[in-house]
Chains A and B, each alone.
Chain A
């Protein structure tokens, strides 16, 4: 379970998160929507400790992410992350991209890591690309590679930071399908997304962020059909 309490985050003098309270239960799929600059991506970075926070707390399975004594590298193994810009490692093959972290972070043997990598690449439909370098993959394939790489650490949670925003329109579908597959398998997911169809169809809850505040959270039917906040309604009217 992820418990966020009174989270405040500043970049210099600019406050990007203004006191967020949010619980995400195991097995839940939460979509986070909102305009650019609303703080939704920053929220993800605060959850896995890639950004320090100024106030409040983030507790993952009972461990305070931002506490001094926390072994953040160990905790991050529970929190897989997929980025907008894919971030495949260009100097490694698809297989090596996925096998590296299990090997050096978890201490798996070469053979074990290879097995894991092959399994996860099959999982995302890239089993014919094992020895291909990322430069020879399409954006959609690279993003699926990034998903496989995160899954190889056997995380409890998956954080998606606008996983489809940088993709050509015709490649969005394959990545969303992979994310749907994970949701069906029961993965706990927090998806920062601009894909309203995905948010509506796949998530258990949808949160709307506006200027650093979580304006509204609820089941998709409520957010998309019957939003109480004027900001939410306006945003949704504009993206449709």
Chain B
């Protein structure tokens, strides 16, 4: 009886890093080494199937470097990264790792390969050797999942930033990955584009039950996450549910992270003596709690 149980547990963890360390050698203009930078310092992050995990951190905190490890673009200096039961350093499994962990990058212009939206979404499945007929059905379902089906015949140049990013997400979805890693997908977008993309990402998690790892420095994007990891200087400095994390306003501010508006207001009110609970996340919550105080 013990064996199947163990297998089941293993398959629950889509991503697991064990004491992940990544170092690179800094070089001057002539290429002489000047020192070693530790970009990731003993990082332990595990993500279970169907979870929405947020990874927060300001620039240079190592969050993008971490993302690149999950897709075998970078390899650990020390420790291991297990994706869908496969070690990312296993060269025979390289393409299996990459197709299980789909990656969406920051700049939409630099990751759209096709000249027509639907062709770009079909690029991943084409690379995986999926039969033509199935490519078409995958393209259709992926575009529908991000709400871009009506733009399928447009040229990517004609789309807005938020739409381009949704196409990129569809392109990854069409590969049928086990999880999607989004590396600051909204950093180059305007507020309305950001909302669009965040809504699409939440939809994937809620409706399609897709495991999502969202890497960002906008805290309001991860309010609905199941768990949050906060990174600073290559280390995981905080982890927990959004409520737990956002209760620690001073700690977050020390890490130069912006706390979402309602949380911040609630915290200030509480400091001034209003009996509010910790970790208020949304406006609605804040309103109900204030009403209770009357």
- B partners with A: no
List B residues at the A interface (Cβ < 8 Å).
Answer: none
List A residues at the B interface (Cβ < 8 Å).
Answer: none
